């Protein structure tokens, strides 16, 4: 079948394979574009800050060295955040241009680049969970934690999650079908999303195991772990102080531990706030599967939800540097050595 002309923000009903193309969307594409015109500039601004700040984080943690497992985890988290924010930046920027001048329409850019975003966003969730659990274990098992969370074990775990994410994300790449058409506006050859080649089952399963389950699981673990850290840290400090033979050393260690735990708590709270829209969206989609981008009635509304969740995610992935500068004297000192 020859592909028919596809205008900006629209997909031919035959390409979707729909039987009832007369269904009117709850939110029109023009209404979505109007909404996104207010969100996209802010998202782009946040993403620029996020890319730059995470590059700084990577340089500083590399300069600090990898003598501790926490530094390794934070270094990997900065890499994951930088890549995720870059993907969100590309998605947001593509909407700033007229589709007729793009080699791929905005919707299709979002669908394609989202694979990269989901991959690194899930990696960030795993790494944040490792950081949270490690610090929680420092309170519960202050002696054994050094035997469990060694640098070698942290590297192997993160590498294992990286391999798992690749394996779980590959089916999504094969589930997305792309094809070329001749644009009726410019007579250029453009790449579009072909719904005739779209494997919904493979796409759903890949999304489930590569992003939805890891994100929801990590969200719950980090939420519970953060509550535990906040409620038990003061009690743990008092216990270690009473067991210490030297009150001066105890006070010094308590201040050092307090800074580290407060830093971890802030990072986890930022993660929770940034991930909440995504988690809520996945739970709703599980209960109400019709809420998806391919649905004629709710498709544009779903795009709007994704735009909001991406903005939250980009913001959460961009502000960690301010936590590090405010609470880590070693990070601040290394930062000054590099840039001043």
Task: Answer yes or no: are the C-beta atoms of 171 and 164 closer than 8 Å.
Answer: no
| Per-residue model confidence (pLDDT) at position 243 | 62
Q: Which domain holds residue 214?
A: 25-171+203-339
Q: 240-260: buried (b, 16+ CB within 10 Å) or exposed (e) per residue?
A: eeeeeeeeeebeeebeebeee
Q: What are 191's strand-pairing partners?
A: 180
Phi, psi of 333 (to 5 degrees): -65, -45
Calpha distance 18→10 (Å, rounded): 14
Classify strands 178-182 and 189-193 as parallel, antiparallel or unpaired: antiparallel
Q: Quick one: how far is CA 169 from the chain centroid?
A: 14
Q: Rounded to the nearest 5 degrees, what angle is found at the Cα of 338, between the Cα atoms of 334 and 339?
A: 115
In the structure encoding, which two tokens stand for residue 284, read together?
């709703």
| Per-residue model confidence (pLDDT) at position 4 | 38
C-alpha atoms less than 13 angstroms from C-alpha of 8 in its C-beta half-sphere: 16
Calpha distance 113→94 (Å, rounded): 11
* CATH at residue 262: 1.20.1070.10
In a domain? residue 143:
yes
> pLDDT means per 10 residues in the chain (340 residues)?
40 41 78 88 94 96 90 94 93 69 69 85 94 84 81 93 92 76 69 70 84 91 90 68 55 63 87 91 84 83 90 93 88 90
Calpha distance 65→317 (Å, rounded): 22
In a domain? residue 180:
no
| Reported pTM | 0.82
Q: How many domains does the chain have?
A: 1
In a domain? residue 190:
no
In a domain? residue 16:
no
In a domain? residue 19:
no
In a domain? residue 71:
yes
Calpha distance 72→154 (Å, rounded): 8
Neighbours of 137 (CB within 10 A): 16
In a domain? residue 257:
yes
Task: Answer yes or no: are the C-beta atoms of 79 and 164 closer than 8 Å.
Answer: no
Q: 208-222: buried (b, 16+ CB within 10 Å) or exposed (e) per residue?
A: ebbbbebbbebbebb
| Per-residue model confidence (pLDDT) at position 37 | 86
In a domain? residue 74:
yes
In the structure encoding, which two tokens stand for residue 176, read together?
């997305």
Q: What are 189's strand-pairing partners?
A: 182
3-class DSSP assignment, residue 190 = strand
């Amino acid at each position: 079948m020859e592909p028919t002309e596809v205008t900006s923000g629209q997909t031919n009903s035959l390409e979707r394979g729909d039987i009832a193309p007369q269904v009117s969307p709850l939110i029109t594409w023009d209404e979505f574009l109007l909404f996104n015109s207010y969100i996209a500039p802010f998202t782009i601004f946040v993403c620029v800050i996020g890319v730059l700040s995470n590059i700084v984080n990577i340089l500083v943690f590399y300069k600090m060295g990898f003598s501790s497992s926490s530094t390794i985890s934070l270094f990997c988290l900065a890499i994951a955040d930088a890549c995720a924010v870059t993907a969100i930046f590309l998605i947001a920027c593509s909407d700033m241009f007229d589709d007729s001048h793009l080699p791929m329409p905005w919707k299709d850019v979002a669908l394609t680049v989202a694979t990269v975003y989901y991959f690194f966003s899930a990696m960030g969730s795993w790494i944040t969970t490792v950081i949270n659990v490690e610090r929680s274990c420092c309170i519960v098992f202050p002696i054994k934690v050094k035997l469990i969370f060694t640098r070698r074990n942290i590297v192997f775990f993160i590498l294992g999650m990286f391999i798992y994410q690749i394996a779980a994300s590959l089916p999504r790449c094969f589930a997305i079908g792309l094809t070329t058409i001749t644009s009726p506006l410019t007579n250029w050859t453009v790449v579009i999303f072909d719904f005739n080649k779209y494997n919904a089952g493979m796409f759903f399963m890949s999304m489930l195991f590569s992003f939805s389950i890891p994100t929801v699981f990590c969200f719950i673990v980090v939420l519970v772990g953060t509550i535990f850290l906040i409620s038990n840290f003061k009690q743990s400090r008092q216990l270690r102080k009473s067991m210490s033979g030297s009150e001066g050393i105890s006070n010094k260690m308590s201040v050092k531990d307090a800074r580290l735990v407060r830093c971890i708590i802030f990072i986890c709270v930022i993660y929770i706030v940034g991930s909440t829209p995504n988690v809520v969206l996945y739970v709703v989609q599980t209960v109400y599967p019709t809420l998806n981008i391919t649905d004629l009635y709710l498709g544009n509304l779903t795009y709007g939800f994704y735009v909001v969740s991406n903005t939250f995610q980009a913001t959460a992935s961009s502000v960690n540097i301010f936590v590090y500068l405010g609470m880590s004297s070693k990070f601040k000192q290394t930062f000054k050595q590099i840039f001043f």
